[in-house]
C-alpha cells in the first residue's frame, strides 16, 4: 500500500468535494459575518463603514474586467485538454497563462491606482467630497490585492483540475482571517485611523491566502513552471475569457450596484445593504457555490470525453440537490429575517433602529436565493462545455435590464428598492440560462427541476406559516427587540418550519428529502470509517 499524499494535495470525489467546499464556504461566511460584526459594532451603519464597503467597487470591477472571478473556471477545461497530450507542453501552457495573468492585472492595477481620486466620485456619487477623498485613500490600499488574485486563480485552477480541493477550501478562510486580525489591530493600536486596518488586512489576506497558499500546494503536487508568454492555447484562453471580460453577469455586479446605488439612498444605505447581503450569501455560498465548484471539474471531464448522458445526469443531480436544499432554507430565513439581523448585528453602534431597517432588506434578498442556486450550477455547466459566450450574453442583457431598476429603486424607494432590483435581476438571469440551455442542449440536464421546485415551494408555504407562529410565540415570552428574544424567535421558527416541511415532504414526496438524507448518510459513513 502506497503512502497517502498530504491532505493539502489529496484528491477528492465530487460528493466529498462538495462537502469540503461547503464546510469551507460556511466557515468563510462565518468569518465574513465576524468581520462585519466587528465593523458594525465599532462603526455601525455610518459614513466610515459606507466608505470601506464602497472602496471595493473599483477593485472588483477591475477583477471582473479580466474575468478574475471566473479565470480558474476558464482554465480547468483547457488544462484537461492540455494534459491529455504531452505533459511538458501542458506545463508550458500553464506557465504562459500565469505570466499573462500577472502582467495584465499588474498594469491595470497601477493605472487604476493612479486614477483613484478621479474614480471615487464616480463609484460613490452620493458621498460628500470629504468622504470621496477618504474613499480614494482606502482604494489605493486595497487595489494592489488584485495583483494577487488573478495569478492565484491560475494555481487554484490547477488544483481544481487535479481535484485537490483542500487549499481552495482554505483560501477564503485565510483571506477573511487576515482582514479581521488587521482590522482589530488597527482599532486598538491606531484608533484614529478608523477602518484603515481592515484595508491593509485585505492586502495581506490576498497575498497569503489567494496567492502564496495555492502556489505552495501546486509546488507540493509537482509544479513545473518556467516564465513564458507564448503558447498556442493562449488564443483559446482569450476566446473563452473575452465574453466574460466584455459581458458582465448581474450576479457578479449586484454587489457593486448595491454599493453604487446604495450611496444614493442616504447615509448608512451602503452599510445596511451590505450587512443584509452578507447574510443572504451564507446559504448561497454553503449550498449553491459549493455545489457548483465541486461539480465543475467532473462536468468538464465528462464534456471532454463526449459522454452526454452522464453529463446530463450529473448536471441534473447537482442542480436538483442544490435547489431542494436552498429553497426551504431561504424561505425560512425570509420569515426569520428580522430576528436574524437583530441577533447578529444589534450591538455597539449598530442600533435597534438600524437592525429594524435591515430586516426587510434581508427578507427581500432571501427570495432570490433559489435563483442564485440554479445559476451557480447551470453557469458552470456552460463553462464545462467551453461556452462562456452564452452566460456572458445572458448576463449582459440582464444587467442592462436591471440597471434602471437599481436607479429607480434607489431614488424612489431607498434601500428596499435597491434590494428588490437585485432580486429581479438574478431571477431574470437564472430563468434566461434555463431557457437557453433547454433550447440548445435539451431538457435532460434540467428534467424535472421545475416540478421539484414548485412542489418544494408548496410544502414551504405552510412551513412559513408555522415559522411565523414560532416568532409570535417567542415575542410573547421575551421582548421582541432584545437579543434573547431574537435568538428564541430564530429557534422557535426554525423548529416549526423544519417540522412542517420535513413532515409534509416525507409523507407526500420523500424524494424531496433525498439530498439531505444522502448527505447525512455520507457524513455518517465517513465518521464510522474514521
Q: pLDDT of the chain along its 530 residues, tens only?
A: 445 555 555 555 555 555 566 666 667 777 877 888 888 888 888 888 899 989 988 888 887 666 555 666 677 778 877 887 788 888 888 899 889 888 988 998 999 999 999 999 988 888 889 999 999 999 999 999 988 988 888 888 888 777 777 777 788 889 989 999 999 999 999 988 889 999 999 999 999 988 999 898 888 878 888 888 888 888 877 777 766 665 555 566 777 788 888 888 877 888 899 899 888 988 887 777 666 666 777 787 788 788 888 888 888 888 888 888 889 999 999 999 999 999 988 888 888 888 889 999 999 999 999 998 888 888 888 888 878 778 878 888 888 888 899 999 998 999 999 999 999 999 999 999 999 999 988 888 888 888 888 999 999 999 999 999 999 999 888 887 788 889 999 999 999 999 999 899 888 888 777 766 665 565 556 555 55
Q: Which residues contact 59 (CB under 8 A, 6 or more apart)?
A: 112, 139, 142, 143, 145, 146
* CA triple 370-376-381, angle to 5 deg: 130
Structural domain count of the chain:
1
Q: Return the biggest CA–CA distance within the chain.
A: 70
Q: CA-to-CA distance for 433 and 491, rounded, in angstroms?
A: 36
Model pLDDT, residue 366? 94
Q: Which residues contact 183 (CB under 8 A, 6 or more apart)?
A: 35, 38, 39, 195, 197, 198, 201
Model pLDDT, residue 500? 94
Residue 217 lies in a domain: yes
Model pLDDT, residue 437? 92
Residue 287 lies in a domain: no
Residue 313 lies in a domain: no
Q: CA-to-CA distance for 406 and 254, rounded, in angstroms?
A: 10
Q: At what angle do helices 369-384 and 308-335 cross, to 10 degrees?
A: 160
Residue 519 lies in a domain: no
The phi-psi region of residue 347 (left if phi > 0; otherwise alpha if psi is between -120 and 50; otherwise beta) is: beta
Model pLDDT, residue 142? 94
Residue 227 lies in a domain: yes
Residue 387 lies in a domain: no
Residue 323 lies in a domain: no
Model pLDDT, residue 2? 47
Do 355 and 340 meet the contact criterion of CB atoms below 8 Å apart?
Answer: no
Residue 379 lies in a domain: no
Q: CA-to-CA distance for 292 and 130, rounded, in angstroms?
A: 42
DSSP 42-80: HHTTSHHHHHHHHTTHHHHHHHHHTTGGGHHHHHHHHHH
What are the distances in angstroms from CA 318 to CA 128, 279, 312, 322, 506? Answer: 47, 23, 10, 6, 21
H helix or E strand, kind and range, residue 103: helix 87-114
Q: What are phi and psi of 191, to 5 degrees?
A: -60, -25
Model pLDDT, residue 178? 93
Radius of gyration of the chain (CA): 23
Q: CA-to-CA distance for 446 and 453, rounded, in angstroms?
A: 11
Q: Which residues contact 368 (CB under 8 A, 6 or more apart)?
A: 280, 422, 423, 426, 427
Q: CA-to-CA distance for 301 and 291, rounded, in angstroms?
A: 16
Model pLDDT, residue 250? 59
The phi-psi region of residue 509 (left if phi > 0; otherwise alpha if psi is between -120 and 50; otherwise beta) is: beta
Do 406 and 261 meet the contact criterion of CB atoms below 8 Å apart?
Answer: yes
H helix or E strand, kind and range, residue 285: none
Q: What is the extent of the structural domain holding 71? A: 13-246
pTM across the whole model: 0.74
Do 332 and 467 meet the contact criterion of CB atoms below 8 Å apart?
Answer: yes
Cβ burial of 166 (10 Å; 0-12, 13-18, 19+) is buried
Amino acid at each position: 500500500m502506497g503512502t497517502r499524499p498530504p491532505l493539502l494535495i489529496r484528491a477528492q470525489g465530487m460528493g466529498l468535494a462538495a462537502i469540503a467546499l461547503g464546510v469551507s464556504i460556511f466557515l468563510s461566511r462565518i468569518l465574513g459575518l465576524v468581520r462585519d460584526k466587528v465593523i458594525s459594532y465599532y462603526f455601525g451603519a455610518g459614513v466610515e463603514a459606507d466608505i470601506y464597503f464602497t472602496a471595493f467597487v473599483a477593485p472588483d470591477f477591475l477583477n471582473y474586467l479580466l474575468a478574475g472571478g471566473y479565470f480558474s473556471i476558464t482554465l480547468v477545461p483547457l488544462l484537461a485538454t492540455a494534459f491529455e497530450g504531452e505533459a511538458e507542453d501542458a506545463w508550458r501552457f500553464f506557465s504562459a497563462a500565469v505570466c499573462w495573468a500577472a502582467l495584465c492585472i499588474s498594469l491595470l492595477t497601477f493605472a487604476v491606482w493612479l486614477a483613484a481620486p478621479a474614480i471615487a466620485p464616480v463609484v460613490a456619487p452620493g458621498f460628500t467630497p470629504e468622504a470621496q477623498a477618504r474613499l480614494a485613500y482606502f482604494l489605493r490600499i486595497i487595489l494592489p490585492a488584485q495583483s494577487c488574485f488573478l495569478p492565484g486563480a491560475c494555481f487554484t485552477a490547477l488544483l481544481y483540475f487535479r481535484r485537490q480541493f483542500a487549499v481552495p477550501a482554505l483560501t477564503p478562510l485565510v483571506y477573511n482571517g487576515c482582514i479581521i486580525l488587521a482590522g482589530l489591530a488597527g482599532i486598538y493600536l491606531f484608533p484614529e485611523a478608523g477602518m484603515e486596518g481592515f484595508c491593509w488586512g485585505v492586502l495581506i489576506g490576498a497575498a497569503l491566502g489567494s496567492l502564496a497558499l495555492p502556489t505552495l500546494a501546486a509546488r507540493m503536487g509537482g509544479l513545473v513552471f518556467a516564465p513564458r508568454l507564448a503558447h498556442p492555447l493562449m488564443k483559446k484562453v482569450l476566446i473563452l475569457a473575452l465574453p466574460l471580460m466584455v459581458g458582465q453577469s448581474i450576479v457578479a455586479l449586484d454587489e457593486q450596484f448595491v454599493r453604487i446605488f446604495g450611496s444614493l439612498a442616504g447615509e448608512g444605505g451602503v452599510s445596511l445593504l451590505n450587512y443584509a447581503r452578507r447574510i443572504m450569501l451564507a446559504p448561497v455560498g454553503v449550498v449553491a457555490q459549493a455545489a457548483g465548484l465541486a461539480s465543475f471539474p467532473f462536468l468538464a471531464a465528462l464534456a471532454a470525453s463526449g459522454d452526454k448522458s452522464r453529463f446530463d445526469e450529473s448536471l441534473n443531480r447537482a442542480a436538483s440537490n442544490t435547489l431542494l436544499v436552498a429553497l426551504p432554507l431561504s424561505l425560512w430565513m425570509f420569515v426569520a429575517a428580522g430576528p436574524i439581523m437583530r441577533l447578529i448585528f444589534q450591538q455597539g453602534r449598530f442600533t435597534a433602529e438600524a437592525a429594524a431597517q435591515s430586516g426587510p432588506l434581508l427578507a427581500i434578498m432571501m427570495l432570490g436565493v433559489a435563483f442564485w442556486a440554479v445559476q451557480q450550477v447551470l453557469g458552470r455547466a456552460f463553462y464545462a462545455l467551453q461556452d462562456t459566450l452564452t452566460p456572458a450574453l445572458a448576463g449582459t442583457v440582464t444587467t442592462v435590464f436591471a440597471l434602471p431598476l437599481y436607479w429607480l429603486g434607489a431614488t424612489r424607494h431607498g434601500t428596499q428598492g435597491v434590494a428588490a432590483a437585485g432580486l429581479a435581476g438574478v431571477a431574470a438571469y437564472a430563468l434566461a440560462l434555463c431557457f437557453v440551455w433547454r433550447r440548445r442542449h435539451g431538457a435532460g440536464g434540467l428534467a424535472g427541476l421545475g416540478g421539484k421546485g414548485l412542489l418544494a415551494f408548496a410544502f414551504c408555504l405552510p412551513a412559513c406559516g408555522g415559522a411565523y407562529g414560532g416568532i409570535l410565540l417567542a415575542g410573547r415570552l421575551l421582548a421582541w427587540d432584545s437579543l434573547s428574544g431574537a435568538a428564541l424567535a430564530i429557534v422557535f421558527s426554525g423548529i416549526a418550519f423544519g417540522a412542517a416541511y420535513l413532515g409534509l415532504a416525507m409523507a407526500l414526496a420523500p424524494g424531496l428529502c433525498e439530498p439531505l438524507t444522502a448527505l447525512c448518510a455520507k457524513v455518517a459513513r465517513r465518521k464510522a470509517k474514521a
